[in-house]
Chain A
Amino acid sequence: MSATIRINYREALRQGLREALLRDERVFLMGEDVGRYGGSYAVSKGLLEEFGEERIRDAPLSESAFVGAGIGAALNGMRPIVEVMTVNFSLLALDQIMNNAATLRHMSGGQLSVPVVIRMTTGAGRQLAAQHSHSLEGWYAHIPGLRIVTPATLEDARGMLFTALQDPDPVLIFEHASLLNVEGEIAAEPRAVDIDYAAVRREGTDITLITYGGSLLKAMEAAVKLAELGVSAEVIDLRTLRPLDDATIVASVSKTRHALIVDEGWKSGGLSAEIMARIVEQAFYELDAPPGRICGAEVPIPYAKHLEDAAIPQIDGIVAAARDLVK
């Protein structure tokens, strides 16, 4: 048996960063307060002392410039990791991400490669209100040319970064704020993880819960409660939102004949709508009931705890929706 360690999500992210910095001297971390402050969510704490100011680079509050600089440095031979404090702030850099990072390969007829990794915190659950709490990864997943990954487990939090850095194209990593303190046991030795496939995190026969990121743990707990109610739920962790792993989704739904999507993002024009469309396109006749979804309420995320809780998917809501769906 290989040795395991007890670790939380934040520490797993830090180990992933450290590993990447150790393995490739072209890698550097750049962003707001990644150095002296130790990262706004303390993910990069201690890295400045170990790797120095050149490679753990504090940037001014200029999202467009430092994300663009990451793109330029990637075009010019480096492997930058750019940290944007939260997904809401990334909108200030959306032009660079969309008009440069995502388009340059195709627009140049295949001449240019932009191997940049952009990490950001996403999601609600910390009472940070409507300018720090949204889940916009589904928006980013709309854009051809980007790869969108969402580590939901400790292994993925540690391993996805290094795989992303090997990718010749821009990869955006969305780290859910509510996961940062989640603890668990994982292999002591870092292992390579893929960023191509969805994972079946729990097997079941009656319904497939399709989710990712911050909602995975909720879906897993809902599956436990559903089991007590006699409903066997399979849980798919999408892991990569673009490109979506249709095959894993369709295989599972074809088995369970019921699908419930859990997504903290908004419904309208959202990722859940896309997944549902694909299920309907590819597995319509396998279904015993219309697919369902539990999503973020269509409001700016509010501050007050009870309202914030009501605005995003919760375990009881998932359980109730799943029960209704398989009835």
Chain B
Amino acid sequence: MNINRERALGYLREMIRVRRFEEKCAEAYSAGKIRGFLHLYIGEEAVACGVLPELSRDDAVLATYREHGHALLRGMPARSIMAEMYGKQEGCCRGHGGSMHLFDASLRFFGGNAIVAGGLPVAVGFGLADRMRRTTRITACFFGEGAVAEGEFHESANLASLWKLPVLFLCENNLYAMGTALDRSEADTDLCEKARSYRMTAASVDGMDVLAVAEAARAGIDYVRGGKGPYFLELKTYRFRAHSMFDPELYRSKAEVEEWKHRCPIEAFKLRAQKGGLIQDADIAAIEADTAREIEDALAFAEAGTLEPVENLTHDVYAREQRVAKAGAS
């Protein structure tokens, strides 16, 4: 393993944080504390954990409705995310967004879009603004492979490539668009080929291997930041849990899920890091204990949170709630 102990600990810690955080979300959901839709990232942690640390603070990040991990990794406090899911005003969006709509403008996390492919045109616009202002910032846009079937993917890929915009397209291919398998929805299942048809440089990587993801992300980021235009990175991964908490999973076999679970990104990484002598059992125990404390703290914070007064319901529909004074009116 070609990394030092510090980085190995970092990857392990972040993947465990995301996993344990979401396990607690599922529990809180079952307990009726979190409502609405809850889409878990469990199984896909290596993707966000590999990509996000490679971005700089100035870059913009856009993600989907399966974005708890991305939000945590971008630096949003677990407290703020959990309180949001509890519908409390201490949450990042004061309880207006919930699980699918996490945002933190101060971290340039423009997160949670629940329209499949809805964030792609917006990401193109972020890239356009950065290009017009001659910055070195880039925009990282996460989306699932289901988005590739939407017209927005094709329009956005074409526009980004036509205008050579600094956008990194990150396609989290977990093989199922909700319950529809990729080969049941795409005439050509080679996603990189689709990106290349827009003259975009494209690559594919094992999304269950955090180190491979990090390396592939670095290559993509360097390319985009270097002003060469957009870049498409396919991250091959798998969702261990149901699409959302309402999904009975009729569309895939238990055997298939079990097979993928053997490739769990956390267990695989642990094993490699231990074999390489970078991590000891005690390290893992310490990470688990720290993570448990952080999540307990987040749960307590969310539990103790308060509800936004209903009188504020219509605030923030517009920036200015009042008409400006009529010119010349007394």
Instruction: Name A's B-contacting residues (CB within 8 A).
Output: 28, 54, 59-60, 62, 64-78, 80, 95-96, 99-100, 105-113, 144-145, 147, 167-169, 192, 194, 196-197, 243, 245
Contacts and interface: CB of A to CB of B under 8 A. Distances in A.
B159 interface: yes
Contacts of A80: 125
B132 A69 contact: no
Contacts of B128: 69, 72-73, 78
A111 B315 CA distance: 12
B7 interface: no
B120 interface: yes
Given A70-B125, A72-B122, A59 B159 contact: yes
A131 to B, nearest CB: 18
Nearest to A96: B121
Interface of B: 60, 91-97, 101, 103-105, 110, 113, 115, 118, 120-130, 132-133, 139, 151-152, 155-156, 158-159, 162, 315-320, 323-324, 326-327
Given A64-B151, A78-B132, A111 B103 contact: yes
B121 A64 contact: yes
Nearest to A193: B327
13 contacts: A60-B162, A65-B124, A65-B158, A69-B128, A70-B125, A71-B125, A72-B124, A78-B132, A95-B118, A108-B96, A109-B92, A110-B94, A110-B315
A77 B92 CA distance: 22
Contact of B318 (A66, A74, A112, A169): A169
Contacts of B118: 68, 95-96, 99-100
B159 A73 contact: no
A72 B318 contact: no
B320 A65 contact: no
Contacts of B315: 110
Contacts of A73: 125-126, 128-129, 132
Given A76-B126, A194-B324, A62 B155 contact: yes
Nearest to B167: A72
B129 A77 contact: yes
Contacts of B155: 60, 62, 64-65
Contact of A68 (B122, B132, B318): B122
A220 B314 CA distance: 37
Nearest to B125: A72
Contacts of A78: 128-129, 132-133
A273 to B, nearest CB: 22
A109 B317 CA distance: 9
Given A72-B126, A75-B110, A76-B130, 18 more contacts: A59-B159, A60-B155, A64-B155, A68-B125, A69-B125, A72-B139, A75-B122, A77-B129, A95-B115, A105-B317, A107-B93, A108-B101, A108-B103, A109-B96, A110-B94, A110-B316, A111-B103, A169-B318
Contact of A108 (B105, B123, B139, B162): B105
A75 to B, nearest CB: 7
B93 A75 contact: no
A41 to B, nearest CB: 23
B317 A72 contact: no
Nearest 4 Cβ contacts at the A-B interface: A72-B125, A68-B121, A65-B155, A109-B93
A74 B125 contact: yes
B60 A76 contact: yes
